[in-house]
Structure 1
Amino acid sequence: MAASVAMLASPAAAQEEPSAEDIIVITGSRIVRADLEASSPVISLSQQQFADVNASSVEKLLTQNPQFVAAINPTVNNGNPGVATVDLRGLGDNRTLILVNGKRQASYDSEGIVDVNAIPVALISRVDVLTGGASAVYGSDAVSGVVNFILNEDFTGLQADASTEITSRGDGAVHNLALTGGINLGERGNLVVSGGYTKRELVYQGSRSYANPARFSDDLSPGGSSTSNPTVIDNSFDDTENSYYQIDANNDFVPYYQPYNYAPPNYLVVPQERWNAMAMLKYELSDGIEFFTRGTYLSSKVNSQSAPTGTFGYTFDIFQDNPFLTPQQSNLLFNSPNSTINDDGSTTIGIRRRMVESGGRTTTYDNKVWQAVAGLRGDLGNLNWEVFGQYSKSKREIAYLNDITYARTAQALDVVMTPDGPACRDPSGGCVPLNLFTQDAIGPDALGFILTGGQQVDKTNQWVVGGSISGDVGNLTMPWAEAPVAFALGVEYRREEARTDVDDAYASGDLIGYGQGFNLAPYHFDTKEIFGELRIPVVTDRPGFYALNLEAGYRYSDYSTVGGVHAYKAGADWAPVQGVRFRGLYQRAVRAPNIYELTAPPVSIIENLDTDPCAGSNPVGNATLTQLCLDTGAPSVGNIPGPVSGQINAFAGGNLDLKAEKSDTYTIGVVINPPSVPRLSLSVDYFDITINNAIDQLGGSPQNVVDGCYLVTQDINSAYCQAINRNTLTGSLSGNIEFGVDQAFANSAFLQTKGIDVSAGYSHDIGSGGVSFLFNGTYLDSYKKKGDPIAPTTQCAGKFGFACNLAPMPKWKHVAALTYSLGDVSLMGRWRYIGKVSQDSGTNILVSSIKAHNYFDATLSLHIADAYDFRFGVQNIFDKDPPIVGSEAGSTTHNAANTFPTVYDALGTTFFVSASAKF
């Protein structure tokens, strides 16, 4: 079940004065009052809903809701930082603020993004999802919205939970255990302690027919990487149309014939082992004063694995006296028409040899998070107050394994003949000769000499202290209203600190497969904030005005990095009659740059590119384009290799001159709860979120940078052309780490998304049983992005591909659930719908559109003796395969295994069994 009627407000009728236990703090406001209803759309997901889909990690249920776009989840292998994140509206997981009981959750690194693995599912009471800017209420980062995890602070007894799931192919097992205990401390308090363990088994891409072999996107033929085995070299020797030569069975160089199928060793699902623990205490010190505290610990280990490393077109100097060269090979390298001989007699060639003997490149992530929160809260008459402090700390240890060193590979390739046989010209360090000019396997000694790895440690710290007071403004009541004016005032101080340490091997830039890591010196910023809210009941129970309320909010934040910024909101809700309420809200939200965006040194990464205007024969005959290709570093045109498997080198780096980005959110909607049909709820809300100075890398994507240089500005002095540094040997955008596209952060991007959310819920008694229906859908009218003011605007609604560089974004998504209950037995059926998408303006592949996908799930629940719950579930009942689009169809985060596994079901039918026992 993927939606909840809790987002649909109850009628604003006058009611009896509630007890303190009846008051629920509404996400979207700091005002604590029982009759408060949100003017912002708020979706609420219950703990039951997590159980019904066996969501051992919170992102599993959240990202199936249509308001979310796929972010980092277990099917992200290439670029998985060992975490799980959520992304509201597709505006970025760094623009979605994560709260636990209304308090900020710790980030996992210098980018300020939260790993939601740290939130224990067993303790969730509900999850409130506030869509739209909310900085006036919660501060920076709440640009696309807020996800507030409300934990059960009143749990009593002992509860054990266990579940296991497995696919119909017998793989992808997930095992989960949790134990929760709570006791009342007399009549004044409660103590809750919970611990959990989760283990997820890996799945290889090679285990799914749609994923293996890797396929070219232009024709879906079996494909892969030009870094292959046998060895491939870049053609810089003759004017033929051959971009590469490859070694054949006779050890001769022939035109390139066999790419490397990298699918089998790649992970489709990354394995994880996770431990978490949490303790919560609240205790009434005296009448009106309560102490509360919460402690959290997470230990999570995740591995990702890519295909074996290789030389990836890095250039090496080869001498003619190398005894491993055959006469045919020597003749091609040294006697071809375009052969270039260096002053020392060598020739420089780009080599693409896959080190299949080394096994996959494995990256291990060991994440640990600690958080402690403590404070006092209470009431003074009609006023509620709170003061609190919290400290969060995270540490992420990363090991980059099974790579090769460029320096030692170059040393081992420079071979001479000695009386004892082939030997390294420079024998230092125990050099072992390396023969890449044969189909023979690399020996263990030669492999051992060039193998290497790297280490990185990320540390973050966060301190937050604050206080607030809310309640009624005395007896101030509008003439036609019954409830008084309500307010909230507060202050907060926050300090964020981060650092990154890498070992010498990773810092050297000598790791061919992993590139180069950089130390990030300890850096911090602090923020001082003051905020306030006002809610004014204007009219109550008058003809045409069953209720009319106004609200406003303001926050001033003083950042040590970007100075003072303002966030504010204004809105209203109007119920002309009981059961019908119209609501509207405008919000100005801000997001200050995070530490990574400010201070990150230029780091070499792998990015995606569909089309290179300089590749192949494209520039020939076009004088302007030819000159630009030459001016950006190409030695010649006519046979420049295109992107390898849709990927090129890129550089990401920080910018201390960044400013806070600002967004404007408009929402307007209607909520219907007719008194004559008390179990029916319906809401329709329109949203419009615009960010005009969004922080993004130059152009938004390498494709936009390349197009901006060669097709739009056509000016070598433009920012786009200056950001391109071509391989001086082949003219490509890959090879050594100094070649590629530079994309430093800037306040240059534009983002805008518009659409309509629809939600409905209804329940009805049938004999001794009952039926209930829930529906949650989103129509995405528009999603526009520009990476730079002079870049073209890209429309991403209903699209996928390189220009958008996002997960596929269908125009319509919904989740519907129908449940029938009879006594202690219930059966739930769920329908997940993902609408069709087509390729965007930067993509031209064979599969130009993806049809709508429907997934059906079912869960049977048994409740026995008020103490035991059993669930049996099937997800993707009809074993629907994901669409096959090939390996060059968009974002490297989302496009893998020839499909988009973050969006479409990558595993097929999955079965689960879960049990809960409470004593």
Structure 2
Amino acid sequence: MKTSMKFKLSPLAVFVGLALSSSLAYSADAEQDVTAVKKDDKTEKIQVLGSYIKGADTITANPVSVVNADDMKYSGAVDTTDLVNILPINSGAENRPDTFTSFYNQGTSNVNLRGLGLSSTLVLINGKRQVLSGAKAQDGSVFVDTSSIPAIALKRVEVLKEGAAASYGSDAIAGVVNFVTNDTFEGVKIDGAYHTIEGFDQNDKNISILSGMKLSDNTNIVFAASMLRRSNMQGWERPDLVKNAASSLGTGFKLTGDSVVTSGPWAGTYAEGEQVGNPNCAGVNGNILDLDGDGDIDRCGFKYGLHYNIVNEEEREQYYTSLTHFFGNDIKLNVSAFYSDYRIIDNFSVPSLPNLSFPVVSADNSTNPFGVDAIIFGRHNPTVADFSKSRAAPRDNKTFRLETSLSGYLDNGWEWVTSLAYSGNTYKISQPEMSLSRLALAMNGQGGVSGDMTFDHFSTDLNHDPALLDWLETDFKSETTTRLLVWDGVINGELFELDGGTVYGAFGAQYRRESYQVNPAENSTILYNAAGNPLPNDFTFLGSVNNIDESRSAAAIFAEIELPISDDITVNAALRYENLDTDNSLDPKISVLYSATDNLSLRASASTSFREPSLSQFNADVTNTVNLVDYQLNPDGTPVLDSSGNKIPNASSLFIRQTTTGNADLKPEEATNYNVGALWSSDAFQVRLDYWRIDYKDVITIESAQAVLDQDPNGPTIVRQDPNDPSSTLAGISTDYFNAATIDASGIDIETSYRFDLDGSSLELSAGFSRYLSYDVPNADGSTYDAVGKFNFGSFVRSMPEDKGNISAHWLMDNHSVMARVDYVSSYINNRQGDTIDAFTPVELQYRFVTAIQEGEAAFSVGVQNLFDRAAPVVADGANFSYDPKHHDPRGRIFYAKASYTF
């Protein structure tokens, strides 16, 4: 990968871009009739997501789902995260409370269409690309932060449920999500919402304003702003949700020789190699571990989950504005911008993290009661009872976007569109830690500001000097900045006539340039030895990241044609060539629409798509922690086998350091996409049915740390606590990004609605449902593993319930409405424990009343989410929290009230 200079825009470049650019036309609902807007005797047709041809007959040939503003009004949804969560085809996204395993992406949200990965869905705003977030998921996935998009400014969200590289280029493997803003609004709308969890103080307060006005007959301006204030809910308030989040590393030691202690709390006789836990373990609310079954306390564990948050305290402000102007020569100008500032205030962490360097307290240390060297198996301050000692781990997330556009018509009636969008994100992370070097000084009586304080690891009441603890504290800090500049130019119009009708064409080009910078603090930067291997840092538990300053560019040309073969059959074909810094790709797509009757349409499509490795995957080195299950080992490091010859796992899991390095040799991911569907549409009844299949190869992922350990518990990338003892405790592991083998996935989607017109009222019933038929991934031995219906521990595939969907009923009469919706996530197998994770069926109910007040309209809603207070299914995921945040909301019953006033 070539290293480029920092990517900056000069004022001149911005000015020129504003002068030359314009937005692609908005997309429309796949089932919406092609409407027309008259402006100066020109007819502006609507464009559908997935096609650059406006007003095309193949609108229904694209499998597009739409979530519009009404879906927010008639539910408890208040932001884009809530909108995305409604979609059944969104599977495995990180949008729900999970302050523990979402270490690097707190305060963000994302989309995961088809469960194919966060990086495999292309996110657009008004048909244009948006910058990737500086945050990334634990598995290294990069994504667009959808929470940064102001929901008050949205008109609808469109979801294209098939690969679309021929239209949009890289990243559109699983599909495309397009957020369409409301740039024609006139008036003022004020929204407010209040959510609270039953039985707890946690609450969300939202207030938003949308204002639009005509400055003249040809000029319209829109402004929107929103604010969120969210209080926290801590783990100690919901111990049922964090009961599995307990570590064996609390207060414990391993003795290197025989020892007899005649008095004091540690009195007893001990053998060489014996593990010893805090005898006052119950008194400090630790969990007692008897590893060898002899009745002794071998380790005093630590219930760290009680210190973390279930919901973080957060603050968010978002602003949006747009200006639309029609010139007298049929040229339309649109300029829009938004800014989002999202702050995680507390994100509490534990008072101290386990010391993975496993230091030794020497026999002659004044605090050591054993008289022999003792290896520390624990942490320096495992305080449990006093949750005020939990330390904050704040995040700061800022996103901006500036887009401008020009569009008009040529003399032959062809429309031209040119646009420029510049967007950026800065994501700052701060995580509390302890300094290993200072701890080493304190263990030898040289700690504290004065250099004469001693840290006593053998204190059984954990009553450490606060001044010394403060001196030991440090923080991991890093700032990641991403930038994206995109120019698009498209022309489209009529080509010629066939017997079946008019042939339409669209031709265009795109140029984009992105940059990725990581700036860690000095103590948080990975350092390397002469051989290029990472050196240990000054943290007890956390890892480090490397400095990165990389840029790259891509250019593309594309063409699309629509051929009416007959009155009933229309063919659409598209082709895109994309030239990348490290590769290139040529991607075709063909789709066919057959209008069988006035009500029934059949459709089919086939295409190829690809995803270029991210700059992070090419360049980022990071050390973080991972939860693994080690094996019982013989003294020579070979696994202990049971009578069937299988390796015997340890009884408990543990967190260890995982170092992942960027890989400059990564190839682009490639996929072949197929879709066959049917659409029935009448005045009252609509059904959309789609079968999809994706043959996905060279998928980029991080090697599974568990799989690497399973293959060889003492392999070359495995680090043990004692390098001379291959049976010692696991301390670290190295993994790399790599191109995995092919994934073959398929499934069925169905959406249906039926409207009853009753006497003075109406009732609409609707349902959406997605089912995976297969999701075959390769095993290390060459066999195939079907990930459907499994938790998928030890695999790069995320948890994947077989079925997701929802059913809703919406009744309206005059000023009143009642909405009820049942969401459904099917049960799936926890292949880590062999048990079943139960199905989850929360119910939402809302009543809404609308009335006229003076010159405006007021609306009031009251509702409850998870009406029957269904508990999130229990998931035994080692030492993680006790639920699956990728599919289940753990908060319980939530009451809400919403009000709006429009005038």
TM-score, normalisation: structure 2: 0.86
Partner of 2:555: 528
In structure 2, give the amino acid aligned to 1:882: A
Q: Closer, same or farther in 2 for the Cα pair 1:620/1:725, shift >3 Å?
A: closer
Q: Distance in 2 between matches of 1:235 and 1:668?
A: 66
Instruction: Give SS of 1:321's match.
Output: coil
Q: Does the CA contact (< 8 Å) of 2:702 and 2:738 recur in 1?
A: yes
Instruction: Give SS of 2:319's match.
Output: strand
Q: Closer, same or farther in 2 for the Cα pair 1:156/1:205, shift >3 Å?
A: same
Q: Deviations over 1:117-140 (max 9, x none)?
A: 221111111100111211111111
- 1:21-32 aligned at under 5 Å gives the runs 23-32=45-54
In structure 2, give the amino acid aligned to 1:149: F
- 1:487-526 aligned at under 5 Å gives the runs 487-507=505-525, 510-512=537-539, 515-526=542-553
Partner of 1:192: 222
Partner of 2:3: none
Q: Distance in 1 between matches of 2:611 and 2:210?
A: 37
Q: Do structure 1's residue 743 and structure 2's residue 735 form an aligned pair?
A: yes
1:191 Cα shift?
0.7
1:57 Cα shift?
2.2
Q: Distance in 2 between matches of 1:237 and 1:20?
A: 91
In structure 2, give the amino acid aligned to 1:491: A
Instruction: Give SS of 1:523's match.
Output: strand
Q: Distance in 1 between matches of 2:836 and 2:117?
A: 24
Instruction: Give SS of 1:899's match.
Output: coil
Q: Does the CA contact (< 8 Å) of 2:188 and 2:211 recur in 1?
A: yes
Q: Which residue, 476, 488, 497 being the options, matches 1:477?
A: 497
Mark the runs of 5 or more structure 1 residues left unpaired by the alignment: 1-5, 216-222, 335-346, 415-422, 541-546, 630-637, 711-715, 890-894
In structure 1, give the amino acid aligned to 2:422: Y
Q: Which residue, 290, 313, 324 being the options, matches 1:271?
A: 313
Q: Distance in 1 between matches of 2:849 and 2:751?
A: 28
Partner of 1:311: 354
- 1:455-470 aligned at under 5 Å gives the runs 455-470=477-492
- 1:447-462 aligned at under 5 Å gives the runs 447-462=469-484
1:818 Cα shift?
0.5
Instruction: Give SS of 2:791's match.
Output: strand
Instruction: Give SS of 2:698's match.
Output: strand
Q: Distance in 2 between matches of 1:186 and 1:594?
A: 45
Q: Distance in 1 between matches of 2:690 and 2:851?
A: 40
Partner of 1:724: 718
Instruction: Give SS of 1:286's match.
Output: coil
Q: Does the CA contact (< 8 Å) of 2:846 and 2:864 recur in 1?
A: yes
Deviates more, 1:391-400 or 1:659-668: 391-400
Paired residues, number: 826
1:548 Cα shift?
0.7
Q: Closer, same or farther in 2 for the Cα pair 1:272/1:548, shift >3 Å?
A: same
Q: Does the CA contact (< 8 Å) of 2:29 and 2:64 recur in 1?
A: yes
In structure 2, give the amino acid aligned to 1:434: F
Partner of 2:660: 652
Q: Closer, same or farther in 2 for the Cα pair 1:732/1:447, shift >3 Å?
A: farther
In structure 1, give the amino acid aligned to 2:897: V
Q: Do structure 1's residue 593 and structure 2's residue 637 form an aligned pair?
A: no
In structure 2, give the amino acid aligned to 1:526: S
Q: Does the CA contact (< 8 Å) of 1:799 and 1:808 recur in 2?
A: yes
Q: Closer, same or farther in 2 for the Cα pair 1:126/1:427, shift >3 Å?
A: closer
Q: Does the CA contact (< 8 Å) of 1:202 and 1:269 recur in 2?
A: yes
Q: Distance in 1 between matches of 2:594 and 2:222?
A: 41
- 1:659-808 aligned at under 5 Å gives the runs 659-674=667-682, 678-698=683-703, 701-709=704-712, 721-728=715-722, 731=726, 739-786=731-778, 790=781, 792-804=783-795, 807-808=798-799
Q: Closer, same or farther in 2 for the Cα pair 1:7/1:731, shift >3 Å?
A: farther
Partner of 2:150: 120
Instruction: Give SS of 2:241's match.
Output: coil
Deviates more, 1:565-574 or 1:800-809: 800-809
Instruction: Give SS of 1:853's match.
Output: coil
Q: Does the CA contact (< 8 Å) of 1:163 and 1:913 recur in 2?
A: yes
In structure 2, give the amino acid aligned to 1:108: S
- 1:9-24 aligned at under 5 Å gives the runs 9=31, 23-24=45-46
Q: Deviations over 1:633-660 (max 9, x none)?
A: xxxxx9x967644x33211111111121
Q: Distance in 2 between matches of 1:519 and 1:860?
A: 52
- 1:38-437 aligned at under 5 Å gives the runs 38-78=60-100, 79-80=102-103, 81-82=105-106, 83-109=108-134, 112-212=142-242, 214-215=243-244, 224-228=246-250, 231-234=251-254, 244-249=275-280, 255-256=297-298, 258-302=300-344, 303-326=346-369, 329-330=370-371, 333-334=372-373, 349-356=376-383, 359-380=389-410, 381-401=412-432, 403-414=433-444, 423-424=445-446, 430=451, 432-437=453-458
Partner of 2:576: 555
Q: Distance in 1 between matches of 2:726 and 2:348?
A: 30
Partner of 2:848: 861
* Identity over aligned pairs, percent: 23
Q: Closer, same or farther in 2 for the Cα pair 1:46/1:249, shift >3 Å?
A: closer
Q: CA RMSD in A?
A: 3.2
Q: Distance in 2 between matches of 1:617 and 1:61?
A: 55
Q: Does the CA contact (< 8 Å) of 2:486 and 2:511 recur in 1?
A: yes
Q: Does the CA contact (< 8 Å) of 1:289 and 1:376 recur in 2?
A: yes
Q: Distance in 1 between matches of 2:338 and 2:811?
A: 37
Q: Does the CA contact (< 8 Å) of 2:449 and 2:471 recur in 1?
A: no
Partner of 1:632: none
Q: Does the CA contact (< 8 Å) of 1:313 and 1:734 recur in 2?
A: no
Q: Does the CA contact (< 8 Å) of 2:257 and 2:273 recur in 1?
A: no
Q: Does the CA contact (< 8 Å) of 1:154 and 1:182 recur in 2?
A: yes
- 1:800-879 aligned at under 5 Å gives the runs 800-804=791-795, 807-840=798-831, 843-845=832-834, 848-865=835-852, 867-879=857-869
Q: Closer, same or farther in 2 for the Cα pair 1:815/1:861, shift >3 Å?
A: same
Q: Which residue, 890, 894, 901 being the options, matches 1:906?
A: 890
1:247 Cα shift?
2.4
Mark the runs of 5 or more structure 2 residues left unpaired by the alignment: 1-27, 137-141, 259-269, 291-295, 527-535
Q: Distance in 1 between matches of 2:85 and 2:727?
A: 37
Partner of 1:567: 587
Instruction: Give SS of 2:61's match.
Output: coil
Q: Deviations over 1:50-81 (max 9, x none)?
A: 23223222122312321001322241212242
In structure 2, give the amino acid aligned to 1:521: I
Instruction: Give SS of 1:704's match.
Output: helix
Partner of 2:267: none
Deviates more, 1:192-201 or 1:808-817: 808-817
Q: Does the CA contact (< 8 Å) of 1:110 and 1:499 recur in 2?
A: no
Q: Does the CA contact (< 8 Å) of 2:448 and 2:467 recur in 1?
A: no
Q: Does the CA contact (< 8 Å) of 2:857 and 2:901 recur in 1?
A: yes
1:392 Cα shift?
1.3
1:449 Cα shift?
2.5
Partner of 1:218: none
Q: Distance in 2 between matches of 1:20 and 1:120?
A: 32
